[in-house]
Structure 1
Amino acid sequence: MKLSSGTKVVVMSVVAGLIGGGAAAGGVTYFSQDNQAAETSSKTTAVKVNDNNVKGTSSATKAFKNVSGAVVSVINLQKQQSLQSGMYGGITGDSSDSDSSDLETASEGSGVIYKKNNNTAYIVTNNHVVSDSNAIQVLLSDGTKLTAKLVGTDEQTDLAVLKVSANKIKEVADFADSSKAEAGQSVLAIGSPLGSDYATSVTEGIVSATKRQVDATDESGNSLGKATVLQTDAAINPGNSGGPLVNLAGQVVGINSMKLASSEDGTSVEGMGFAIPSNTVVSIINELEKNGKIERPALGVSMVDLSNVSTSDQSDVLHLPASVSGGVVVVDTERDYPAANGGLTQYDVITKVDGKSVDNSGELRDVLYKHKIGDSVKLTYYHSGKEKTVTVKLDKSTSSLSNAQ
């Protein structure tokens, strides 16, 4: 450590010496050419700004102007618990909303206005942008702040719909057919990176890949399965979530949702952002507008990935054979739902659905959600170490559940 410090001092001294030498040499030159320098100075003309030689408006600028007025900042407001509430609320069991603490900004994201209907305007954003909010505000591109009402959310696709008064709304965005998007096409990401202080920022890139499959997780880290997304190298930063990815016609081709900052081994990466394709977005927001929720078949189980259970618990509590390395552990079952009706109980481990192996809860959902309410599925599971199968009818939906699937 001492050697390093000494080295830094030497380097700094050498640099200072060089700068001093340069200054001295410059001084000698100046004095030896004093008359010439003065003469040159008298002929100096002022610098001026020249005409901008860029003629016309670029395609990117046209696209930005076409849609930027429909892009908003979404502000998630949450109640901050007072110290007294935090100390005594849990003891008394008082969970009422009577706490006098003001609502404060918990997080910010982006959104895009896609529809006006009479006096109501509709905005699509990400579910994780508005999750756990006590109130929501949106900041329009002209600086107007409005109170928004939550119409519906879908954790599975990470989408949410808000509505606001349309009195101040001047522009709405159009959706393009995302199935026509091609790798290499130019796109713009518009939103509020790092929050509303940088509202309506735009970055440019290309579609890096279409129909990319990425792992999605909920806020607890449990797998939600594979999400099919558009990949882009347009810069996407915290706060861009929920904002639009648009083509050079100014049409929305996706809703920015996530980025990959590093690989599993910790290698830093750049230019890997992902957007929910507009075709998926349109399908979900139409149903959210209509029902406020998405109807999907439910087994009626709370579950955890087997990979999150220690090896000792897999053996001592679940009594699993060593050959079982993947699956979903049933933590609890909902009465009168398909799993309970089929005989599944706590600590059973589901390993297959319709004969297809499921290593985690995401893969289970992927298979399950391909079915409709009313279909039947065959479950393969382990109960007290023994493999069993049962066919259950999917007669319930996820919308009637809180945390179960």
Structure 2
Amino acid sequence: MAEKRDLDEPQEENETQTSKKQHHAGRIIATAVLAGLLGGGVAVGAGYVYTQTTNFIGKTTGVLGNGKTTIQAPTISGKTDATKVYNNLKGAVVSVLNQQKSTASTSQFSSSSSSSSTSSSFQTASEGSGVIYKATNGVAYLVTNHHVVSGADRIQVVLYDGTKITAKLVGSDAMTDLAVLKIVSSDVKTVAQFGNSNQIKTGQTVLAIGSPLGTDYASSVTEGIISAPKRLVSNTSESGKTNYGDSVAIQTDAAINPGNSGGPLVNTAGQVVGINSQKLTETDEGESVEGMGFAIPSNTVVNIANKLVKYGKIVRPALGVEVVDLNEVSTEDRINTLKLPSKVKGGVVIAGFSDKNSPAKKAGMKKYDVIVAVNGKKVSDLADMRDIIYKFSIGDSVKITYYRGSSEKIATVKMSESLK
């Protein structure tokens, strides 16, 4: 079994250390870079990238009257001028400093008595990147990775011109590895716009902008292509106990290094199509890997960012089921255990229920039922189901089409709040 490495643990100044975590495909590192010597680690690694789409893809850009950030359309194709794209966007890309308190004791001695005192100061525990996507009413909002700011006692943002501003955490979500910060907008000159990550294609040119290895290399840009628009990546919490399942990320060969976490992946139109989060460095067999970076799709980013700004947290609807992709089930088990008809090629298999109050269980669904559609929308795998389910709200009722053996059935399930 290969290992996942997170660059989130505090370490000596200018030294990169990693903690190890398991990954089914190879060794993954969260692309945050660390500096400083502090007790206690940043809590969560990278890559909790659950795919979600947004209901507000539109032809307008920026901020609508209701305050929601929208996705820019259409995506422009044609010859890329990387320099022009970079120059138009560089002012919106920032460095993000995760600072934690360091307590030091000092002693003062005199001929007659001695006394000691304790003072606290902030030291930079990790550095990442971020991108400013909205400025309104004197406040600018930026998105970065959850693992970049997790555990911070103070967060500072360094603008393109070197201006350093203390930021406030608006909200953070470990499952998608996203966080939103806000700063005063008086020094903000550029705001990025989001593109539609559902429109990106394999082979499309992209740029990655950020601060590899920290602020010394701030505003670095690398160029590559989209290697795969949707790639399943397995993610586990830092404790190794909570498996958040396979999640969908954009795979790119644009160089993504420690410190690039939270920075934008940009298309040829200068639109942000992803937020860089992690990279693959080693296979299960110990072979070295190059050019395999991953970014959170912009549609996920927009959806989560809007909810974090509005609510300060993410509350997800759930069916209360534990599932596996049908394509991971052997042909023998499909025939002998699931007893599926040969025409069923895709779907997700119920392997269990979250608890005794599972909405799906209450609706009459059972272990080994195979879900093939939600509200009439085809479900080929877990990614499809998340795409559909996360568009609904807690309390909504959905119609689940599923197979129990050779029989097709429909259950109406009222979704509850996710326990994860």
For the aligned pair, the TM-score class normalised by the smaller chain equals 0.5 to 0.7
Quick one: which amino acid aligns to residue 97 of structure 2?
I
Quick one: which amino acid aligns to residue 274 of structure 1?
F
Other structure's SS at 1:102 match: strand
Other structure's SS at 1:262 match: strand
Tell me which residue corresponds to 2:296. Answer: 276
| Structure with the larger RCO, 1 or 2 (CA within 8 Å, 6+ apart) | 2
Q: What is the identity percentage for the equivalent residue pairs of Structure 1 and Structure 2?
A: 59
CA distance in 1, matches of 2:98, 2:386: 30
Larger radius of gyration: 1
Other structure's SS at 1:62 match: helix
How many residue pairs get aligned? The number is 277
CA distance in 1, matches of 2:169, 2:87: 28
CA distance in 1, matches of 2:368, 2:187: 50
Deviations 1:197-216 (A, max 9, x none): 11111111111111111112
Match of 1:137 among 153, 156, 161: 156
Q: List aligned pairs for 1:4-403, cutoff 5 A.
A: 59-80=81-102, 100-221=119-240, 222-297=242-317, 338=357, 352=367, 372-374=393-395, 394-395=415-416, 397-398=417-418
Check whether the contact 2:128–2:262 (CA below 8 A) recurs between aligned residues: yes
In the superposition, relative to structure 1, how do residues 352 and 262 fare at CA in structure 2: closer, same or farther (>3 Å)?
farther
CA distance in 1, matches of 2:367, 2:186: 53
Q: Kindly report the root-mean-square deviation, in angstroms, between the aligned alpha carbons of the 2 structures.
A: 3.7
CA distance in 1, matches of 2:224, 2:139: 33
In the superposition, relative to structure 1, how do residues 135 and 375 fare at CA in structure 2: closer, same or farther (>3 Å)?
same
Other structure's SS at 2:282 match: coil
CA distance in 1, matches of 2:205, 2:275: 15
Deviation, 1:268, is 1.0
In the superposition, relative to structure 1, how do residues 115 and 167 fare at CA in structure 2: closer, same or farther (>3 Å)?
same
More strand per residue: 2
Deviation, 1:135, is 1.1
Deviation, 1:282, is 0.9
Quick one: which amino acid aligns to residue 60 of structure 1?
A
Check whether the contact 1:195–1:239 (CA below 8 A) recurs between aligned residues: yes
CA distance in 2, matches of 1:160, 1:352: 36
In the superposition, relative to structure 1, how do residues 99 and 136 fare at CA in structure 2: closer, same or farther (>3 Å)?
farther
Quick one: which amino acid aligns to residue 63 of structure 1?
V
Check whether the contact 1:210–1:231 (CA below 8 A) recurs between aligned residues: yes
Check whether the contact 1:297–1:368 (CA below 8 A) recurs between aligned residues: no
CA distance in 1, matches of 2:217, 2:313: 32
Quick one: which amino acid aligns to residue 203 of structure 1?
T
CA distance in 1, matches of 2:387, 2:253: 31
CA distance in 2, matches of 1:136, 1:70: 17
CA distance in 2, matches of 1:197, 1:352: 54
More helix per residue: 1
Tell me which residue corresponds to 1:91. Answer: none
CA distance in 2, matches of 1:392, 1:179: 28
Check whether the contact 1:261–1:270 (CA below 8 A) recurs between aligned residues: yes
Where in structure 2 are there 5+ consecutive unaligned residues?
1-78, 107-116, 323-349, 372-381, 401-411
Deviation, 1:392, is 9.4
TM-score by length of 1: 0.60
Deviation, 1:132, is 1.1
Other structure's SS at 1:176 match: coil
CA distance in 1, matches of 2:231, 2:203: 14
Other structure's SS at 1:182 match: coil
TM-score by length of 2: 0.58
Where in structure 1 are there 5+ consecutive unaligned residues?
1-56, 85-97, 304-325, 344-350, 357-361, 379-390, 399-403
CA distance in 1, matches of 2:150, 2:299: 23
